[in-house]
Amino acid sequence: MNTPHNEWDAYLTQMEQLLALELDEERRAELRVQFSRIAAMAGPLLAFPLDERIEIAGVYKA
């Protein structure tokens, strides 16, 4: 999963507005790195084929 930096920038801008935050460029750059790492880790998991008949996990209810 290779998401371009401009998509991460758009996401960061939206989150700044929603959360009323102000990020400096150093923080934005580090967040881009972290998001890219997370996307790289999630890629193989999201690409794993699942059989249509596999039951979902049960939901815990207290």
3-37 pLDDT, tens digit per residue, is: 677 889 999 999 999 999 999 999 999 999 999 99
Domain assignment present for residue 9? The answer is yes
- Rounded to whole angstroms, how far apart are CA atoms 9 and 33? 11
5: enclosing H helix or E strand? helix 5-19
Domain assignment present for residue 6? The answer is yes
Domain assignment present for residue 12? The answer is yes
The whole-number pLDDT of residue 1 equals 54
- The pTM score is 0.66
* Amino acid identity at 10: A
Domain assignment present for residue 3? The answer is yes
The whole-number pLDDT of residue 2 equals 62
What is the tally of structural domains in the chain? 1
Domain assignment present for residue 47? The answer is no
Domain assignment present for residue 27? The answer is yes
Burial of 39 from C-beta contacts in 10 A (0-12 / 13-18 / 19+): middle
Domain assignment present for residue 54? The answer is no
The whole-number pLDDT of residue 3 equals 67
The whole-number pLDDT of residue 42 equals 92
Domain assignment present for residue 44? The answer is no
Domain residue limits at 13:
1-36
